[in-house]
Structure 1
Amino acid sequence: MITVRKLLHYGVACFAFLTCKSSAPTGGSSPKSTPIPSPTLVLAGDYPDPSVARIGKAYWATATSSNWFPAFPLLKSTDLIHWETKGFVFEKKPDWADFYFWAPEIAPEKGKVYIYYTAHKKDGNLCVGVASASKPEGPYRDHGPLVCQTDGSIDGFPMRDENGKLYLVWKEDGNSVGRPTPIWAQALNEERTALVGEKRELFRNDAPWEANLVEGVSMIRQGDYFYAIYAAAGCCGSACTYGTGIARAKSLLGPWEKYRQNPVLAAEPSWKCPGHGTPIEKDGRHYFLYHAYSQQGGVFVGRQALLREFRFTNDGWIAFERTANPATSVAGSTKDDFNGSALSTAWNWSVFRPPVVQVRQGQLQLTARPDHVGAYIGHRTISPNYTARTTVTPEQPGAWAGLAVIGDDENAVGVAVQGGQVRVWKLEKGKEQALGTAQIGKVPRVTLLAKVQNGSGISFSYSTDGSSFVPVGERAIDGSYLPPWDRALRVGLTAKGTTGQTAQFDDFTLNSGL
C-alpha cells in the first residue's frame, strides 16, 4: 500500500467481547493508570458504531462503513491514541449481501477473531452475519448470516451467560416498519455458524426518552450484574435525538431492569446524539468508546469516536465521568503522491460503483463512467473547514478529470477539466446542473482546488501554474443537501466520460481545520 502522511486520526481500543465481561471489583487492588480526559475525541471523522478489542499486545478497532467501501476498516494501535489503518474486513462484498454494512463487533477468542456485522441481504432485509480470521488483520472468511427477521435484524453482540454459554444479542429492526424494537438473545453454537434453541426477549423501547427504538447493545459483567449499555431514539442526521441508557440483570436472559435516571449520556455543548459503543477495562479503569456528532462539524464530518470513563456506583449502576471539553474537530494535512503500486487505505468508494484504478509511476489513473458523478474515490474529512486540491493532466479526448465533495452516487458538487475547459457542476438527486465554465487553452497540467467552510459552503478554483488560482463557478455553493442520512461526506477524485476513457491525477492534498 502507498505510504500516506496521515491526517491526525486518533483512536482507542477496548475489550469488545469476553475480555470485557470480567473485571476487577470496584475498589480492588488493580493498579490505577492516569485517567484519560473524559470525553476525548479519539477517532476524528466518520467512524460510527465503533468497536474495539485488545488482541495480544495491540489494540484493534473497526466501525460502520455503510455504503462506503471497502467495508469495516481495521485499525491498529499500540497506545490507544494513535491509529493506523491496516486493511478492511471485506475488500469484496460477501456473496449474500449487497449494501448497508453496519455495526461491526470485533470479538477475539481462543486464537481467532470474529467480526459480527449487519448487512442487507440480496432480495431480503437486514441480517446479522459473522466472519472470522486467524489474525486481526485478516484475511476474513465470511460465514454468512446468522439471523434475518422479516423486519430486519441488526447490531449483533456476542456474550456468554453466567454459565459460560455463548449467546448472540441483537435488535429486531421494528422501527423501520413502525413497530417496537425488541432486544433478543439466542444461543449460538461454538463454530459461530448458527443460532440454536429459542430466542428470548431481554427488553424493548418502552421508556418515553427511547422514542421509537432501542439498539446498539453492548454488555459487560461486573460483580453480581450483567450491564447493557444501549442507544435509543434517533441515531442520525441533523435532527438526531440519540442518547445512551443502562440496563442490568443478574442473569443474561433477565429479568432486565432499566436505570431510572436514563439517559446517562445525552447532548452536551460540544457533542450531540451520543451512543452505540463498547466498554473497555484498562489498568483498573473502565471506559466506553462510542460515537457522537460534533456541534461544529455535524453531519458533514459524521459520527466521530469518543472515549469516556465510567465507574460502577455503590448502588450497582454505572456513572459516566466528565473531566474535559474535547476538541470537536482536528487540524491536519495529508498528501498522496501516488508513489506506490496500489491505492492507499485512506480511499473509499461507493459499494454500488467499484472503481477501476491503476497507480504507477507517481500517477493515479481512474477509468471513467458515463453517468451520475462518474467514477470516483473519496477521502474522509475531519473538520467542517478544509481545502482539497489535485493536479491533473487534461487530455483530449480523455475523460473529465475532477475534484468533488460527494454525498453519494446521485448527490455531489465538483469541478472538472477536459482539454481546454474547466467546469463546475452540481448533481442533486441524480440531476446535473452546470454552475460555471472557464476556457484555459492547451496546458500540460491543471491544479483544481476546492474550499469548504462550515461543512456546506463550497467553492472552486483552478490554476495552470500551481500557485495562482482563478475562481470558477458560483462563489458559495450550498452543499447542505449532500450528506446521506447515515453517513458523512467524502472529498475526492472523479472521472466522467465514455467507456474506456481515463483521467490522470498526479497528487491529492487535504488540509483540514483551516
Structure 2
Amino acid sequence: MVVKFEDPDNFLNPIIPGGFPDPSICRVGDVYYICNSSFEYFPGLPIHESTDLVNWRWVGYGLHRKEQVSSAVNLVDVKSEDGIQAPSLRYKDGTFYIITTCVYRPPGTDEGTCTNFIITASDIHGPWSDPHVIEGAPGIDPDIFFDDDGKAWYVGTAAPDKPNYPGEGELYCHELDLGAFKLVGERHHLWRGALHGGVFVEGPHMYKHEGSYYLMAAEGGTGVNHAEVIAISDKVTGPFYPNDRNPILTSRHLSYDNWVHSTGHGDLFQLPDGRWFMVCLGVRAEEGKQGMKRSNMGRETHLVPVRWEREPMEWHSLGPVGERLWPVCAPDTGRVERQSALPLKSMQLHACNTFRDTFESPSLHPEWNFRRVPREGMYVLSPGCLRLNAQPQVIEERASCSLMGIRQRQSEFTFLSKMTFKPVTDGVEAGTSVFQKDDNYVNFVVQLVGGKHRVCVTLKERGKEERALYGDDLAAYQGGITFRIESCNHAYSFSYSLDDGASFTSCAEMAADLLLSYGYTGSYLGLYSTSKGKPSEDYAEYAFVQHSASLRLPARGG
C-alpha cells in the first residue's frame, strides 16, 4: 500500500522521506543508488535504488554484519550522534565503493577517534566487505575520486595546522592505492572554503567536467546556516579557486516560513541524456510554535535540478582569468522546492512507503533499525511472529536494549502494532516506543505491577526526568493488545484495543514538538521491552506492525 502524490508533471520532495541524511549518489547504467549516513544505528549505511529518481526501493545496508562494526569500526557502545557519518558511494570497473567515517568517543571523555574506511561489493545488494581502514587519513567525510588517468584519490576534511579562526576546516587530497587500501605519495592541501567567516567545511566531493576539476563542499554547519560551495582547478591537486557566486545552494537567506531549511551536503550527478541534478539534505519546517520550525523526521534526502552555465571569471591575483563552467542549483528559483518537475518518466509519480510487516520473512525487513548493535538473543523471528525478549537494559546513553524501530516517514501517520504479552516477572514491560534519542522518547507499554497489568504512557523530554502521561489498570486484559499511535494536527495521540481493533480506548495526547529532531537523525516508531535490571525469561510477541503515512503540503513557501 502506498500514499500517492497525484500530479502528472511533478514529484514531491523529499524523495526519500524519513531520517536519511547526507545523501551520496551514483549511477550505473540507468539505475541510481543513494547511500546515507546512519550514525549510531545498526544496520548502517542504508542504500536505496531507483530508475526514475523519485521512487526509491530498499537495497539494504553497507554495514549489515556485526563483525563489521565491533572492532575498529565500533557501533557497540557508540555515543549518540557519533558513529557512521557522511558516506560517498561510487562505482568503478564492476566494484561499488563506500568510503566514510566512524566517529567514536570512549566513555568518560569527549576526545575520540575518526576512523576513515572503505567497504566494497561487486553487487550493490551485498555482501559488503569488512572495513578497510585508511591509515594516516585525518578528519572526517572522505570522498573517492577516480581520475581519467586511472588514479584514485582520497579527498578528506581536516583541521588545518594553522587555522585562521575557530571552526575553520581544510580539504585535502591524497593518492589512494585501492589494491592495498593505502595512501601513497604526499598530501595536497586544497581549499579552506568560500564563505566569509564560514566554518565547518566538510562533506567534499570531487568531480571532473569538461577538463576541469570541481571541489564541492558543505559549509556553515548542518543547521540553518548550511550551504553548498564549490571551487575549480585545472589540476586534481589544486590550487582551487572559488566560484564568485558561492554558495550555490543554501536556505540561510530564506524566511523561517519557508517549508524547508538547513539545505546542503549535496552530491552532483549526470543523467544519460546529459542533464545534471543534485541530491542534498534538508529539514522540513513543520513543527514548533515560533521562530525556526523543525521536523520529527530530521534531515531528509531531496532532489534539485542543476544547470551548468559558462561565465567570465576575473580572479586576477587569485587565479586565471577566463570563462569557466559552473553548476547552478535550482536555476529557476534558487531553492529546494516541495514540488518540482519530474526528471524522468515515472509510472508511479511519487510514493511514500506505508509499511506493514507480518514477520513472514526469515530475516528482518531492511526498514528495521537498532540503536547500536543489538545484544544476542534480543529477538527471535518465526513465521508470522516477532518475539522480543525482555532484557534487563533500558533506554539510556551508549546502551543497547530490546528496542527496534522503523523511521517515521511523515509528520502525520498512524502506527499500529498487535502484541501478545503474558509476563510473570513483576516490573517487566513491553509495547511500543516513539524515539528520537536516548534522552527523548515516549514509551507506550503494558506493565506487570504487583500482579496486575497496567497500560502506561511515559515521556522522556530532553534534559528532563521521565514522567507519566497516563497509567491505568487493564482489568479486562487477557494477554493480547493492539497499540495505536497517531500523529495529526501537530500532536501525537495514544490509544489501545483489547478486542483485536474493534474498538479503541484513548489514553494520552502530547504535542509533536516534544519529539523534535535537534540532531543528525530523525524519529523512529518501534517496539520495546525491558525487565528493568532484573533477570527475566519474559517476552512479547508481535503479529504485525503497520505505519500508514499521510502527506502534509505547506500552505506557503514552496
Structure 2 counterpart of 1:79, from 52, 64, 71: 52
**Equivalents in 2 of 1:454, 1:301: separation in Å?**
16
Please say if residues 37 and 323 of structure 1, whose CA atoms lie closer than 8 Å, have aligned partners that are also in contact: no
Please say if residues 38 and 323 of structure 1, whose CA atoms lie closer than 8 Å, have aligned partners that are also in contact: no
Residue in 1 aligned with 2:363? Answer: 342
Residue in 2 aligned with 1:272? Answer: 261
Please say if residues 125 and 148 of structure 1, whose CA atoms lie closer than 8 Å, have aligned partners that are also in contact: no
Residue in 1 aligned with 2:190? Answer: 202
Post-superposition CA distance 1:45-102 (Å, at most 9, x none): 1111111222355332211111121001122223333222122111224320224111
Residue in 2 aligned with 1:495? Answer: 529
Residue in 2 aligned with 1:326? Answer: 338
Structure 1 counterpart of 2:389, from 363, 367, 391: 367
Residue in 2 aligned with 1:46? Answer: 19
**Equivalents in 1 of 2:175, 2:131: separation in Å?**
17
Post-superposition CA distance 1:359-392 (Å, at most 9, x none): 2231111112333335111111121122212111
Tell me the CA shift for residue 203 of structure 1: 0.6
Q: Report the 3-state secondary structure (helix = DSSP H, G, I; strand = E; otherwise coil) of the residue aligned with 1:246.
A: strand
Aligned sequence identity (%): 24
Post-superposition CA distance 1:382-403 (Å, at most 9, x none): 2112221211113132642211
| Structure-to-structure mapping, 1:225-264, within 5 angstroms | 225-236=212-223, 240-264=224-248
Q: What are the ranges of 5 or more consecutive residues in structure 2 without an aligned counterpart?
A: 76-82, 107-111, 288-293, 312-324, 341-349, 396-400, 552-558
**Equivalents in 1 of 2:303, 2:209: separation in Å?**
20
Residue in 2 aligned with 1:153? Answer: 139
Q: Report the 3-state secondary structure (helix = DSSP H, G, I; strand = E; otherwise coil) of the residue aligned with 1:97.
A: coil
Q: Report the 3-state secondary structure (helix = DSSP H, G, I; strand = E; otherwise coil) of the residue aligned with 2:126.
A: coil
Tell me the CA shift for residue 423 of structure 1: 0.8
Tell me the CA shift for residue 207 of structure 1: 2.7
**Equivalents in 2 of 1:192, 1:396: separation in Å?**
54
Tell me the CA shift for residue 105 of structure 1: 1.3
Residue in 2 aligned with 1:289? Answer: 279
Tell me the CA shift for residue 330 of structure 1: 7.2
**Equivalents in 1 of 2:207, 2:131: separation in Å?**
26
Post-superposition CA distance 1:463-485 (Å, at most 9, x none): 11213222224x32565355351
Describe the shift of the 1:322–1:491 C-alpha distance in structure 2 as closer, same or farther (beyond 3 A): farther
Please say if residues 306 and 329 of structure 2, whose CA atoms lie closer than 8 Å, have aligned partners that are also in contact: yes
Q: What are the ranges of 5 or more consecutive residues in structure 1 without an aligned counterpart?
A: 10-35
Matched, 1:463 2:485: no
| Structure-to-structure mapping, 1:68-467, within 5 angstroms | 68-91=41-64, 92=66, 93-94=68-69, 95-99=71-75, 100-121=83-104, 124-147=112-135, 153-161=139-147, 163-172=149-158, 178-191=166-179, 193-205=181-193, 207-208=195-196, 211-236=198-223, 240-267=224-251, 269-282=258-271, 283-296=273-286, 298-315=294-311, 316-322=325-331, 325-327=337-339, 333-351=354-372, 353-354=374-375, 356-373=378-395, 374-397=401-424, 399-418=428-447, 420-428=453-461, 431-441=465-475, 442-453=477-488, 457-465=491-499, 466-467=501-502
**Equivalents in 2 of 1:275, 1:38: separation in Å?**
20
Tell me the CA shift for residue 410 of structure 1: 3.4
Q: What letter is aligned with 2:15?
A: V
Tell me the CA shift for residue 8 of structure 1: 7.0
Describe the shift of the 1:330–1:383 C-alpha distance in structure 2 as closer, same or farther (beyond 3 A): farther
**Equivalents in 1 of 2:178, 2:523: separation in Å?**
39
Residue in 2 aligned with 1:22? Answer: none
Please say if residues 46 and 62 of structure 2, whose CA atoms lie closer than 8 Å, have aligned partners that are also in contact: yes
Q: RMSD in angstroms over aligned alpha carbons?
A: 2.9
Please say if residues 458 and 479 of structure 1, whose CA atoms lie closer than 8 Å, have aligned partners that are also in contact: no
Q: What letter is aligned with 2:296?
A: F
Describe the shift of the 1:117–1:412 C-alpha distance in structure 2 as closer, same or farther (beyond 3 A): same
Please say if residues 41 and 327 of structure 1, whose CA atoms lie closer than 8 Å, have aligned partners that are also in contact: no
Structure 2 counterpart of 1:485, from 519, 525, 543: 519
Task: Report the TM-score when normalising by structure 1.
Answer: 0.84
Describe the shift of the 1:38–1:461 C-alpha distance in structure 2 as closer, same or farther (beyond 3 A): closer
Please say if residues 71 and 90 of structure 1, whose CA atoms lie closer than 8 Å, have aligned partners that are also in contact: yes
Please say if residues 68 and 350 of structure 1, whose CA atoms lie closer than 8 Å, have aligned partners that are also in contact: yes
**Equivalents in 1 of 2:266, 2:94: separation in Å?**
24
Please say if residues 195 and 247 of structure 2, whose CA atoms lie closer than 8 Å, have aligned partners that are also in contact: no
Q: Report the 3-state secondary structure (helix = DSSP H, G, I; strand = E; otherwise coil) of the residue aligned with 2:237.
A: coil
Moved more, 258-267 or 322-331: 322-331
Matched, 1:476 2:476: no
Moved more, 65-74 or 91-100: 91-100
Q: What letter is aligned with 2:338?
A: P
Tell me the CA shift for residue 252 of structure 1: 1.2
**Equivalents in 1 of 2:187, 2:283: separation in Å?**
34
Please say if residues 162 and 251 of structure 1, whose CA atoms lie closer than 8 Å, have aligned partners that are also in contact: no
Tell me the CA shift for residue 300 of structure 1: 1.3
Post-superposition CA distance 1:19-50 (Å, at most 9, x none): xxxxxxxxxxxxxxxxx969853211111111
Please say if residues 242 and 266 of structure 1, whose CA atoms lie closer than 8 Å, have aligned partners that are also in contact: yes
Q: Report the 3-state secondary structure (helix = DSSP H, G, I; strand = E; otherwise coil) of the residue aligned with 1:480.
A: helix
